[in-house]
Amino acid sequence: MLSEKLEKALNEQVNAEFWSAYLYLSMSADFAAKGQAGFANWMHIQFKEEQDHAIKLFNYIISRGGRPVLKPIAEVKTTWETPLAAFEDTLAHERKVTAMINDLYALALKENDYAMQSMLRWFVEEQVEEEATAQGIIDALRMIKDNGFGIYTLDKELSTRVYNPVASAE
Ligand SMILES: [Fe+2]
Ligand SMILES: [Fe+2]
């Protein structure tokens, strides 16, 4: 059984993960509108991953005898000046999510909930990957600057990203 505090905090994280999904779907729409299909594909997969994060937590709340409560999803930005601006927003957002996961972990420690600490370690690892991936694309975009062929090549590269469902998010 989850403590009331942990159930509430997990529900807030479910909302935050859905907001992340919304943010990346919005970025995907913006890239698609600009004819950058590879960037759009990358963001669309990111959207699906974030939905998986939300559902993984949703399922976890149920498995611990809690009750998922879905709250409204706040509005997201709809357009970004450049691909670099979008990926800088992505990294800044993922850093915020990392801080939220760390706070959740700290709360699970405080509440002596060992099962939840174990579940959250997956998210701790995932956040390392999320930040590193966003940073890698930012590094590439900084080298490319406004070189059209560079953007074209990176767009082609990002078009190859495929979706791998997250375990226990079905
Ligand atoms: Fe996430
Ligand atoms: Fe990921």
Q: Distance from the CA of 20 to the center of ligand 1, in angstroms? A: 7
Q: Which residues are found with C-beta within 5 Å of the ion, ligand 2? A: 49
pTM, 2 dp:
0.97
pLDDT tens digits, one per residue of 90-149:
999 999 999 999 999 999 999 999 999 999 999 999 999 999 999 999 999 999 999 999
Q: Which residues are found with C-beta within 5 Å of the ion, ligand 1? A: 17, 50, 53
Let me know if 117 is exposed, middle or buried by CB neighbors in 10 A (0-12, 13-18, 19+): middle
pLDDT tens digits, one per residue of 59-97:
999 999 999 999 999 999 999 999 999 999 999 999 999
